[in-house]
Chains A and B, each alone.
Chain A
Amino acid sequence: MFPAFRPAKFRPSRQTRLKALVFLGLFAAAFVTIAFVPVPARFDGIAGVAAHAATAGPQTLSPISIDYPLNGSIFPPGITPPTFLWRDAAGTSWSIDVTFAGSAAPIHAESTGERMKLGPIDKECIADSNKLPQLTAQQAASWTWTPDAATWAAIQAHSVSGPATVTITGYRDGHIAYSQSRMEMATSKDPVGAPIFYRDVPLMPSAGVNGVVSPLSPSAIHLIHWRLRDITRPESHTVLRDMPSCANCHSFSADGKTFGMDIDGPANDKGLYAVVPTSKHMSIASKDMVHWNTDGTVGQSRVGFMSQVSPDGRYVVSTFAGPDLKLPDSYYVKNFLDYRFLQVFFPTRGILEWYSRQSGLRTPLPGADDPHYVQTDGVWSPDGKYIVFARAVAEAPHDPEVPPATHALDANETQIKYDLYRIPFNDGKGGTPEPIEGASGNGMSNNFPKVSPDGKWIVYVQCKNGQLMRPDSQLYIVPFKGGAARRLLANTSLMNSWHSFSPNGRWLVFSSKARSPYTQMYLTHLDADGNSSPAILIDNATAANRAVNIPEFANIAGDGIDDIDVHVADVNKPDVAKSDVVKPDASAPNESRPEDQKPEVQKPGGQK
């Protein structure tokens, strides 16, 4: 074949040398005039080490880069031991000293250095379209220390009333200290108090017939698992697997007693929604299925998007295309073969509708049903009186004049920037939507709101365009009534989204790709003023080549769900309703979504 793609023609050594010289030149003038100030003992360390270093080592200790946990981290009580990660240009062995604010005895440990390792691989999830996870350069250079259970328990016990100081000291040539850094970490008084329900998915995009790219081949849908994680336990528990049909967004009522989940119906029309009581052994049968359009009054499209069960479990709010629009008229969808960000998906038209479990009817919510806008991502305030949602001017999903996007954040994506709004539910009568100051009109796309259980805060996602799986997504917090929005300290370097509050409101779980293209989930602590702490990784949530998806706290016991049985015949029952959407390649591992479809472009406001 043709010669392999050539590596870049750079000659770093020459450029490097040049750059170094340029830089030396930049500093040359300052260098000769700098008044040298002796460096104070910035790295005083624990007494013995520092004294030894002062006599036998270099004049100053080189700072170590402590990558995890970050300074200021707050751990939930009872969480399994974390793996400390650091990089050090100087040391070849290390001591780890933990001191406490109170009178507790310090803890000393030694490490000859173990490198960071990847977790186990799920062989079933290896595909031509993905790559096995690899350590980044930084990760490959990282040294690790994982305290044993007893040591970690002691650290946790003594770091509640005040932070513990962890000092890592690097040595060369035996015991000569060359490097040192320290960080503070604390254990919160606030328990997480609930398990996390999440979807565990392979990242295996596939090109089907006609070249249509699908996020997951139908033959691989059975690889999707739903799992429950009690963070005090080392592993997650799989509660649902081998589903013949894809299922997507899930939500729990505030009391954890009711569970709802989008389920793809016949011909993958996404037309089913399951609402069931939460229990140890759950069963989803035909009687539990909501067929979104059986009443025939609220439009042709049966897709519910981002459905949310109300706090009392009586209602479900969701996004629908509206009375006159079909699915392709209302969603921007592009799937890619790049497994890292394999899909762009967001609604460009749609209204909020609420479903009454008692009456079995779904009804547009006045004030959030304006066809000139897309209204989506509706979530309930904890008292059920308000719905917070994302809104933008309605647009055609696809502009035929614009080339198709080829990757996430492609400038050719349909551009849409949502603002957050609040509207009274008012027993389904709705009201006037009000923009939420701080989360609207800021030139960014504000989306995926979640209201804190005490009703004081909204945590939402900001990104440049659209929503869901955005590489640049960052978490922000804003008062429920609006005000100054603040970026959460917990944000990582790549994709921060799909967050959920713990029932006590003190913890937020969210997903990120900072450590790996295979999404992982993290925790952050939120204090009463809405300040967050650096992200805490929930270890071992899935295989290293699978992604954690849609994590959500469930207000149930840590082992509150053992298994969920979905009756296959019911899910695939062909006579549910006549499908108005036919997909060539049915599956959707990341959201309730339609696949690539030929768009039918309509002008905004074209709906009746």
Chain B
Amino acid sequence: MGKSRDVQLINLRSFLFPAACLLIGTRFIAAQSPCVPPDDMKPQLQGKPTAEALNNLGVWFADQKQYACAADVFASSMQLEPNQKDVAHIAFEFGVALDLSGDLKEAIPAFQEAEQLGYLDIKIHVLLAQAFDATHDSKGAEAEWRAAIDIDPEYSPALDALSNDLLADKDFDGVIAALERPRLAGQRTPLQSANLGVAYASNGELDQADAVLRDGLNTTPDSLMLANLLANVLVGLHRGDEAVTVLQLALIQHPGDADTTAHLASIRTAKPARN
């Protein structure tokens, strides 16, 4: 199983040894007990299975959550017919199978190859970004999140993740640019409002941070994160009474929340001392 994954797809395209590929396919089917095809597919897999038959088997394994088996089958399919009609899609499915089987290191080049083969879909960027994030390649992840957002400016998971990555890099201007780009009004998630508010606050633009966080809180009144961040900004703006009110309202929504209660107490403690 691992052996077939090691093969670079880019080489597979020109590496046309159908007999060998068939051997690989039949080897793992026969040798690896978990990768057992269903009875109704076995006739199509006897002798010289076609790429289509292998693709169907890969999908079946994936449906059974046998992702490593699916990856092997998709690799075999591409070896068998590197120029098959939907090779880009099969390469993508190969990458997904690797990804879901936990082999992110191998999934990344598989996705990249699928992209080069012409699989143009936001999903590939999202999966690549996730894989890069998981392997701590933040620059790679940022590039892929941006590519996803270019395709769909409203795709919230990508905006959430990109702003997270940029914030982790302390690229506050980057966060602002990413979240203030042209898009439908009122599409920010609570996390995006939080990230944008933090970015503005970190840049010293407290009034902007106030506006963004207030806006976010008015959209999602039950967000403790936004309430606590807004309270901090309001304190920074010397508007402690408003900060208290914000946290009081948050505690109405979430009675007894320990962090918010402590935060409120700290503001109240600071307030008389400064009066």
- A residues at B contact (CB < 8 Å): 1-3, 5-10, 12, 15-17, 19-20, 22-24, 26-27, 30-32, 34-39, 58-65, 67, 87-90, 136-139, 141, 172, 178, 338, 406-407, 409-411, 471-472, 492-495, 513-517
Q: A26-B202, A494-B184 are in contact. Are A90 and B221 (CB under 8 A)?
A: yes
Known: A19-B198, A35-B274. 11 other contacts (CB 8 A): A8-B126, A8-B161, A9-B133, A10-B157, A20-B228, A39-B242, A60-B244, A136-B185, A138-B188, A472-B181, A493-B183
CB distance from A327 to the nearest CB of B (A): 27
Flag whether B81 is at the interface (Cβ < 8 A): no
Contact present for A10 and B242 (CB under 8 Å)? no
Contact present for B201 and A138 (CB under 8 Å)? no
Residues of chain A with a CB closer than 8 A to B157's CB = 7-8, 10
- Mark contacts of B200-233 with chain A using CB atoms, 8 A cut-off: 1 yes-contact digit, 0 otherwise: 0110000000000011011111000100110011
Contact present for B246 and A62 (CB under 8 Å)? yes
Residues of chain B with a CB closer than 8 A to A1's CB = 59, 63
Stretch of B1-9, B16-24, B34-42, B189-197 on the interface side: B189-197
- Mark contacts of B104-124 with chain A using CB atoms, 8 A cut-off: 1 yes-contact digit, 0 otherwise: 000000000000000010010
What residue in chain A is nearest B253 (Cβ atoms)? A89
Contact present for B236 and A36 (CB under 8 Å)? no
**27 pairs of residues in contact across A and B, judged by CB atoms under 8 Å:** A1-B59, A6-B100, A8-B126, A8-B130, A10-B157, A12-B160, A15-B164, A19-B167, A27-B201, A31-B236, A34-B236, A34-B240, A36-B238, A36-B273, A38-B241, A60-B244, A61-B245, A62-B245, A62-B249, A67-B185, A87-B215, A137-B189, A141-B220, A411-B150, A493-B185, A494-B183, A517-B184
Contact present for B150 and A495 (CB under 8 Å)? no
CB distance from B137 to the nearest CB of A (A): 15
A38 to B195, CA, bound (A): 28
Contact of B229 among A23, A64, A137 (CB under 8 A): A23
Q: A62-B246, A407-B150, A516-B184 are in contact. Are A16 and B225 (CB under 8 A)?
A: yes
CB distance from A24 to the nearest CB of B (A): 6
Contact present for A136 and B236 (CB under 8 Å)? no
What residue in chain A is nearest B193 (Cβ atoms)? A137
Contact of A23 among B120, B160, B232, B252 (CB under 8 A): B232
Flag whether B53 is at the interface (Cβ < 8 A): no
Contact of B248 among A58, A65, A138 (CB under 8 A): A58
For residues 118 through 171 of chain B, which have their beta carbon under 8 Å from a beta carbon of chain A?
Answer: 120, 123, 126-127, 130, 133-134, 150-153, 157-158, 160-161, 164, 167
Contact present for B151 and A64 (CB under 8 Å)? no
CB distance from A314 to the nearest CB of B (A): 40
A114 to B151, CA, bound (A): 35
A240 to B133, CA, bound (A): 54
Residues of chain B with a CB closer than 8 A to A492's CB = 185
A16 to B228, CA, bound (A): 11
Residues of chain A with a CB closer than 8 A to B150's CB = 407, 409-411
Residues of chain B with a CB closer than 8 A to A514's CB = 184-185
Q: A39-B241, A58-B245 are in contact. Are A138 and B185 (CB under 8 A)?
A: yes
A478 to B238, CA, bound (A): 41
- Mark contacts of B231-275 with chain A using CB atoms, 8 A cut-off: 1 yes-contact digit, 0 otherwise: 011011011111011101100100000010001001000110111
Residues of chain B with a CB closer than 8 A to A32's CB = 270
Flag whether B186 is at the interface (Cβ < 8 A): yes
Residues of chain B with a CB closer than 8 A to A172's CB = 252
CB distance from B51 to the nearest CB of A (A): 16
A60 to B214, CA, bound (A): 14
A20 to B232, CA, bound (A): 10
Q: A19-B167, A35-B238 are in contact. Are A513 and B184 (CB under 8 A)?
A: yes
What residue in chain A is nearest B248 (Cβ atoms)? A58
CB distance from B104 to the nearest CB of A (A): 11
Contact present for A31 and B96 (CB under 8 Å)? no
Q: What are the 3 tightest A-B residue pairs by CB atom distance, in nearest-first order?
A: A138-B186, A36-B274, A8-B157
Flag whether B57 is at the interface (Cβ < 8 A): no
Contact present for A26 and B201 (CB under 8 Å)? yes
A39 to B240, CA, bound (A): 7
- Mark contacts of B171-190 with chain A using CB atoms, 8 A cut-off: 1 yes-contact digit, 0 otherwise: 00000000001111111110
Residues of chain B with a CB closer than 8 A to A59's CB = 241, 244-245
Contact present for A10 and B100 (CB under 8 Å)? no
Q: A20-B225, A31-B270 are in contact. Are A138 and B59 (CB under 8 A)?
A: no
Chain B at the A interface: mostly helix, strand, loop or mixed? helix
Residues of chain A with a CB closer than 8 A to B161's CB = 8, 10
Residues of chain A with a CB closer than 8 A to B98's CB = none
Contact present for B249 and A89 (CB under 8 Å)? yes
Contact present for A493 and B221 (CB under 8 Å)? no
Q: A19-B167, A58-B248, A62-B249 are in contact. Are A137 and B219 (CB under 8 A)?
A: yes
A513 to B239, CA, bound (A): 36
A31 to B239, CA, bound (A): 12
Contact present for A8 and B160 (CB under 8 Å)? yes
Contact present for A89 and B218 (CB under 8 Å)? yes
Contact present for B242 and A494 (CB under 8 Å)? no
Q: A7-B157, A23-B201, A409-B150 are in contact. Are A36 and B188 (CB under 8 A)?
A: no
Contact of A34 among B123, B134, B201, B238 (CB under 8 A): B238
What residue in chain B is nearest A30 (Cβ atoms)? B236
A23 to B172, CA, bound (A): 13
A492 to B185, CA, bound (A): 8
Q: A9-B130, A12-B191 are in contact. Are A27 and B218 (CB under 8 A)?
A: no
CB distance from B165 to the nearest CB of A (A): 10
A63 to B212, CA, bound (A): 12
Contact of B225 among A2, A19, A141, A406 (CB under 8 A): A19
A59 to B273, CA, bound (A): 18
Contact present for A493 and B182 (CB under 8 Å)? yes
Contact of B214 among A63, A471, A494, A515 (CB under 8 A): A63
Residues of chain A with a CB closer than 8 A to B259's CB = 20
Residues of chain B with a CB closer than 8 A to A36's CB = 238, 240, 270-271, 273-275
Flag whether B72 is at the interface (Cβ < 8 A): no
A87 to B186, CA, bound (A): 11
Contact present for B198 and A23 (CB under 8 Å)? yes
A87 to B194, CA, bound (A): 17
Residues of chain B with a CB closer than 8 A to A15's CB = 164, 191
A89 to B62, CA, bound (A): 45
What residue in chain A is nearest B129 (Cβ atoms)? A8
Contact present for A515 and B219 (CB under 8 Å)? no
Residues of chain B with a CB closer than 8 A to A136's CB = 184-187
A31 to B225, CA, bound (A): 18
A410 to B157, CA, bound (A): 20
A62 to B239, CA, bound (A): 12
Q: A59-B245, A62-B246, A472-B182 are in contact. Are A5 and B123 (CB under 8 A)?
A: yes
